[in-house]
Amino acid sequence: MKRMKLKPVSMPVQGLYQKSYDEKEHTVLDESMNDALSIRMFENLKMALFFSRIQNQLNDGERQNV
């Protein structure tokens, strides 16, 4: 059985913590998008909790009337 020889993968010249200007700007945009998504998710959870409480109160009212 023949085996293929793997070529060594070249690593980027820049260090791990060095980013170009475009990458830094992209990271800032990602962080602001994450903040917006977090706020939207929080608002959705608040609405879900609100409707869950209303539904629970309606169910409790129906049980008391029966």
| Residue-level pLDDT at 55 | 95
Q: Residue 3 — pLDDT band, cuts 50, 70, 90?
A: low
pLDDT in tens, 15-48: 555 555 566 666 666 778 888 899 999 999 999 9
Q: What is the average per-residue pLDDT within 46-60?
A: 95
The 10 Å CB-count burial string (b at 16+, else e) for 41-66 is eeeeeeeeeeeeeeeeeeeeeeeeee
Contacts of 27 by beta carbon, 8 Å cutoff, 6+ apart: 19
Q: How far is CA 28 from the centre of its chain?
A: 15
Element containing residue 38 per DSSP (H, E): helix 21-65
pTM summary value: 0.48
| Residue-level pLDDT at 47 | 97
